């Protein structure tokens, strides 16, 4: 995509609303190409002290290049808003798809689970934990393949991809961001955003609030891991494996494993790992879910070695290396 500004885009329907902004369908008037554009209001980001999250999402998306992760084509800003121009995924999200059909066919659940495993393997190589993996953050692209979105809660352990220390994140973001595009894949449209601070630093550096359960965890109740409930800061790669266990269960059972009448009761069920399997869930799927939904993060299948997860009999017959070229199984 060419370098882009607000005037080049015709905004269309609202596609989704995240914690920090809205996503619209959009068209580049110059080329007629369609995209999704995430629009973030600077004033709101400042109010919520989310400058670091926004800068981080942009930095990570720029550095990631995977068929199952939505691509960032360009980012720019005007006086009031920040804009992320993203690959458009037209098929809705996995949560809607599960609601529509009740339970997914076994082969499709296996296919989607394998794609999630591939993404997690890629993120692990990049030393990134997503930490908000859920069906609503797995979009379905034109070709029926999954596309992961929403990296504003992710944690990156790779020094090269880490931002400035959080106490000065908004101030120093612009200089650190220059040149963060994916190696060998310059993204021309990013320049206008790197030339000035992503969010103007009108405030002194944010002082961190004391850590407590109440003010750190901002995820989604159903997919949150026990360690995230304990202390959001310690949650890492294994939290994504927990979420994968929840998603696999939901694809096959039609509802998430720890669903309860209130969020509090859901949290209680999560901490106790209180799961009941539908009688008709195949034993091999139950076994995989049981090995992912383990309270001790270090004992989850894949926490030390993703190959062990890929070798689980649930994935028998799956060719991981050619997944992007495969046609996803159809829903009858
Ligand atoms: N909702 C959030 N991001 C999106 C995207 N890239 N495509 C479609 N819908 C979205």
ipTM: 0.97
89 in ligand 1 pocket by Cβ < 6 Å?
yes
Residue 138 has what pLDDT?
98
Residue 187 has what pLDDT?
41
Q: DSSP letters along 50-118, please? A: -HHHHHHHHHHHHH---TTBPPEEEEEE-SSEEEEEE---TT-BHHHHHHHHSS--HHHHHHHHHHHHH
Q: Please, what is the average pLDDT of the chain?
A: 86
Q: Which residue has the higher pLDDT, 233 or 123?
A: 123
Spacing, Cα 136 to ligand 1 middle (Å): 10
Q: Which of 92, 139, 146 has most ligand 1 atoms within 8 Å of CB, for mutation?
A: 139
- Kindly report the number of other CB atoms within 10 A of residue 293's CB atom: 25
- The predicted model gives 210-221 an average pLDDT of 52
Residue whose Cα lies nearest atom 6 of ligand 1: it is: 88
> CB-based contacts of 66: which residues, under 8 Å, 6+ apart?
118, 119, 122
Spacing, Cα 70 to ligand 1 middle (Å): 8
4 in ligand 1 pocket by Cβ < 6 Å?
no
Q: Which of 85, 86, 132 has most ligand 1 atoms within 8 Å of CB, for mutation?
A: 86
pLDDT for residue 277 is more than 80: yes
Q: DSSP letters along 234-248, please? A: G--HHHHHHHHHHHH
Give kind and range of the element (H or E) at residue 251. helix 237-253
**Beta bridge partners of residue 86, listed in sequence order:** 36, 72
Spacing, Cα 297 to ligand 1 middle (Å): 30
Residue 219 has what pLDDT?
59
Q: Which of 70, 61, 85, 93 is nearest to 9 (CA)?
A: 85
Q: Which residue has the tokens 């580049």?
A: 28
Spacing, Cα 291 to ligand 1 middle (Å): 31
pTM over cut 0.95? no
Collapsed DSSP state (helix, strand, coil) of residue 320: helix
16 in ligand 1 pocket by Cβ < 6 Å?
yes
Q: Which of 327, 329, 331, 319 is nearest to 118 (CA)?
A: 319
- The predicted model gives 127-146 an average pLDDT of 96
What angle (nearest 5°) sits at the alpha carbon of residue 110, between those of residues 325 and 69?
50
pLDDT for residue 174 is more than 90: no
pLDDT for residue 279 is more than 80: yes
Q: Which of 90-99, 124-133, 171-180, 196-205 has the lowest mean pLDDT?
A: 171-180
């Amino acid at each position: 995509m060419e370098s882009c500004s607000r005037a080049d885009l015709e905004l269309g329907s609202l596609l989704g609303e995240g914690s920090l902004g809205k996503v619209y369908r959009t068209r580049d008037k110059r080329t007629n190409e369609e995209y999704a554009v995430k629009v973030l209001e600077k004033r709101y980001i400042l109010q919520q002290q989310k400058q670091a999250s926004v800068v981080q999402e942009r930095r990570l998306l720029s550095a990631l290049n995977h068929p199952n992760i939505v691509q960032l084509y360009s980012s720019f800003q005007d006086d009031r808003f920040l804009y992320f121009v993203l690959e458009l995924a037209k098929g809705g999200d996995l949560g809607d798809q599960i609601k529509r059909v009740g339970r997914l066919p076994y082969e499709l659940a296996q296919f989607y689970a394998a794609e999630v495993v591939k993404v997690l393997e890629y993120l692990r190589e990049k030393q990134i934990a997503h930490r908000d993996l859920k069906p609503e953050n797995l979009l379905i692209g034109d070709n029926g393949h999954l596309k992961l979105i929403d990296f504003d809660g992710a944690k990156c352990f790779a020094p090269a991809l880490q931002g400035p220390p959080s106490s000065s994140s908004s101030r120093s973001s612009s200089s650190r961001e220059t040149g963060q595009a994916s190696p060998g894949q310059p993204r021309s449209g990013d320049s206008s955003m790197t030339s000035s601070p992503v969010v103007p630093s009108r405030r002194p550096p944010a002082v961190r609030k004391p850590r407590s359960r109440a003010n750190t965890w901002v995820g989604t109740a159903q997919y949150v891991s026990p360690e995230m409930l304990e202390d959001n800061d310690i949650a890492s790669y294994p939290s994504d494996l927990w979420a994968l266990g929840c998603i696999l269960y939901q694809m096959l059972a039609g509802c998430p494993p720890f669903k309860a009448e209130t969020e509090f009761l859901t949290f209680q069920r999560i901490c106790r790992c209180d799961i009941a399997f539908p009688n008709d869930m195949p034993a091999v799927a139950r076994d995989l879910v049981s090995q992912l939904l383990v309270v001790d993060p270090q004992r989850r299948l894949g926490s030390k070695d993703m190959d062990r997860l890929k070798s689980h009999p649930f994935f028998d017959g799956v060719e991981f290396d050619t997944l992007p070229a495969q046609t996803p199984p159809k829903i009858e």
